[in-house]
Amino acid sequence: MLNMISGYVALHRSLGRKFSAQDRLLRLYADFATGFGDRYTNVQRIYDWCHTSSSQNVARHRFDTVRNFSLFAQAEDAGYEVPPAGVFGRGKRPRPTPTIIEPDQVRAIMTAALDVPPQDMISPHTYHYLFGLLAATGLRISEALALQCTDLVEDGLIVRNGKFSKQRLIALQPSTRQALEAYLAMRKKLGATGSDLFVSIRGRAPTKTRAHVVFVRLARHLGYRGPTGKSGMRLHDLRHTFAVRSLEACPPDREAIAHHMAGLSVYLGHASVANTYWYLEATPVLLRDIAAASEQLYRGEAA
């Protein structure tokens, strides 16, 4: 187990994280479990160890740390057991597990958006291009809806309404710029007015709630999401997908990965690079693939 912990910690440190607290807790758990002869994580042993904590918050922190490690370790060796989430409560409302949206699903949703009523008006085109921009750039929906026509500049898009009032400039692929210019031409053709970049028939940007409702209805209609009351694909998953695809494209080099994470954090407008690491932890397959690439690199260096 200690070798697996060392690999897990080394992976996170290769990505630029200190990971000291997690390293200490995992080794404390390993000492506890080894005393019972365990070679792998064991659900009941995790519970027993967490129950020795001095408070509920400490127990929850211990549990989450070992559970995240167990998810990673089980991808390498099925002998590691993973306990269910939330056994010791949740300090904050948990982030939903992201749905990675496939390119053909994005295209299908964008196409279906063109059938949103009222036809022969600007709204169907607004949702078509809005969803396309979110998929192509990873913008938050609030950032996209706050864009003004004047924010499309020669160097890209000026995002003025970022989280924590942060402003940034994001570069655009030529195809994305052409799509936005096509949308502006459609606005002019249909006589849509207003300073907001994306507008409804009232000349103002749709609300976040309305954009979410339209997206979910389209996803449900296309069979990408279950019936009302069931969780599934969400509008925010376009942002998740952008981040994960970006990380998947990262070259298997420790320094390159660290630089990529830092750059992606700025691009996405995260307050801290720690928020960007969540995309790794929330996507075990991606974490496993990067771990495999890092191990291969390590073996090459050792040779």
In a domain, 43, yes or no: yes
Residues 126, 75, single domain; the answer is no
Q: How confident is the model at residue 301 (pLDDT cuts 50, 70, 90)?
A: very low
Residues 178, 270, single domain; the answer is no
CATH, residue 180: 1.10.443.10
Q: What does each C-alpha distance from 167 to 176, 262, 273 come to in angstroms?
A: 20, 17, 17
In a domain, 34, yes or no: yes
d(CA 279, CA 257): 14
In a domain, 240, yes or no: no
Residues 112, 214, single domain; the answer is yes
Q: Does the pLDDT at position 4 exceed 60?
A: yes
In a domain, 242, yes or no: no
Dump pLDDT digits (tens) for 243-254.
878 777 766 665
Dump pLDDT digits (tens) for 147-160.
999 999 999 999 98
Residues 75, 121, single domain; the answer is no
Average pLDDT over residues 178-185: 96
Residues 127, 174, single domain; the answer is yes
In a domain, 20, yes or no: yes
The amino acid at residue 147 is L
The total domain count for the chain is 2
Strand 156-159 vs strand 168-170: parallel, antiparallel, or unpaired? antiparallel
Which tokens is 256 given?
């390159």
Residues 77, 56, single domain; the answer is yes
In a domain, 237, yes or no: no
Domain range enclosing 202: 103-221
Dihedral sign (CA 175, 176, 181, 183) = positive
In a domain, 230, yes or no: no
Residues 114, 162, single domain; the answer is yes
Q: For position 62, what pLDDT does the model report? A: 92
Residues 212, 256, single domain; the answer is no
Asked if residues 45 and 55 have their Cβ atoms less than 8 Å apart, the reply is: no
Contacts 24+ apart (CB under 8 A), 279-285: 279/98, 279/240, 279/243, 279/244, 279/247, 280/15, 280/247, 281/68, 282/95, 282/97, 282/98, 282/240, 283/98, 283/100, 283/244, 284/71, 284/72, 284/75, 285/75
Average pLDDT over residues 13-38: 90
Residues 280, 213, single domain; the answer is no
In a domain, 228, yes or no: no
Domain boundary among 202, 221, 240: 221
Average pLDDT over residues 282-301: 55
Domain boundary among 221, 238, 262: 221
Q: How confident is the model at residue 302 (pLDDT cuts 50, 70, 90)?
A: very low
Residues 110, 194, single domain; the answer is yes
Residues 90, 107, single domain; the answer is no
d(CA 213, CA 235): 9
Dump pLDDT digits (tens) for 83-121.
988 777 666 555 666 788 999 999 999 999 999 999 899
d(CA 122, CA 200): 6
